Structure 1
């Protein structure tokens, strides 16, 4: 691991245009539930993927909205980890960096990242299911009950349609503007760091491959082997909250990324 970190630090120290590409593994270290986690309470009889579809929202809006409110509550209780802060440190050190995330939480923003490209939308950007206009996120930070509950979604102030979570559901296309920004950044970078993603969910999983084809070096941070192993120039085996701060420290030194 130390040898791999040194190799990765050389690449990072030489880079001028960096893309950091993050997935669920980054937020899981802050306690944010992933789609692989077992559901409890009201949700235990559902597959998480079955709740994250337009059809599920059409059939039972209160169930799906309630589940996303429960998820949003869990995110509000979570805190950015040292991996999030390491990403922000990379962005601060290399101004031409671009952060692309598949996560729908706001932990990168709270860690200091100014403008992440959210490929899969955001829990904090609901929109009307009928007219697609943005809608305000529900007020307050009240915690949802641990066992979950049905919550009727609000209505759009423009057309009175149901407001839906502002995330990309299974079977939906990625937002064109975000995808275009991600493709442009990956095509122009000289280093891509992929963190906590399985490399299996397309079209997002194509981003590291695109960077590699355009000549960029690729560093992968993941505790497990993934299909991206064969693309990466360096594989850092470990959780993001440990591997990323170690990488930043090895590249530049003197950066304290512990809890703060």
Structure 2
């Protein structure tokens, strides 16, 4: 049951969205947890409570200990492939279809925004949809290797040169994709409103983008169950599950 105070905030956020000329959405792992994909920092369930990120998700680990890297990555990729977009993803796609959302900037690698129908998605941390070969630079659809990953008996290798493949995701020690970052900066500089959904805003440099938008005058709507360092700068703060809040915000 939503309290009258929270309902007033939702109504106010809808008004901001209706009036926005350049609305940008920034999403984090929290928008995909209702789809069954674990996030990284939630107490008791976050992936980083089970693994040291530098031991499994770094470029050094992939290069020197690929078995350890894939031991972590394999079950996560299989879980993502089995997941489906939830009402939050679908609501954002509808807002884009209605001409309200100009871009979805996401920290997620799961592709659920696109599967829900969003078109202009900027993936700051890459995507599991493809893999690349560090040897010959060929790129392959990841689903090509799903049967092998399901069997769990071998690592995905380039069919041409037999090097172990790397998913096209940004690991620790890697730079974010330049063109994607530049496009995200441009949208945030132009935004008159920004909706942050399901992000703790603890991962840098991605977390700079909502700050940039606010610094350029964008009105901030923040939907997240846990506090963030931008809470005090939010025009509307909604401590709700995104799958509950976002569909309501999309009822313009």
| TM-score after normalising by structure 1 | 0.85
| TM-score after normalising by structure 2 | 0.88
Partners of 1:156 and 1:191 in 2: CA distance:
46
Residue matched to 2:3: none
What 5-or-longer segments of structure 1 have no aligned partner? Answer: 253-260
> Are the equivalent residues in 1 in contact too, given 2:106–2:124 (CA < 8 A)?
yes
Partners of 2:148 and 2:90 in 1: CA distance:
25
Q: How does 1:102-113 map to 2 (within 5 A)?
A: 102-113=107-118
Partners of 1:236 and 1:155 in 2: CA distance:
46
Per the alignment, do residues 79 and 242 of structure 1 end up closer, same or farther by CA in structure 2, a change over 3 Å counting?
A: same
Offset, 1:130: 3.7
Partners of 1:64 and 1:217 in 2: CA distance:
40
**Higher normalized helix content (fraction of residues):** 2
Residue matched to 1:256: none
What 5-or-longer segments of structure 2 have no aligned partner? Answer: 1-5
Residue matched to 1:84: 89
Q: Which whole-Å deviations, capped at 9, do the CAs of 1:177-226 have from their partners, x for residues lacking one?
A: 11011001111111110111111111100111111111111110111211
Aligned residues: 243
Per the alignment, do residues 189 and 131 of structure 1 end up closer, same or farther by CA in structure 2, a change over 3 Å counting?
A: farther
**Higher normalized strand content (fraction of residues):** 2
Q: Which whole-Å deviations, capped at 9, do the CAs of 1:143-162 have from their partners, x for residues lacking one?
A: 966xx9463231263x5543
Per the alignment, do residues 143 and 30 of structure 1 end up closer, same or farther by CA in structure 2, a change over 3 Å counting?
A: farther
2:132 to 115, 127, 131: 127
Partners of 2:99 and 2:204 in 1: CA distance:
28
Partners of 2:226 and 2:200 in 1: CA distance:
9
> Are the equivalent residues in 2 in contact too, given 1:62–1:151 (CA < 8 A)?
no
Offset, 1:96: 5.8
2:99 to 80, 94, 100: 94
Partners of 2:154 and 2:230 in 1: CA distance:
39
> Are the equivalent residues in 2 in contact too, given 1:209–1:231 (CA < 8 A)?
no
Offset, 1:30: 0.8
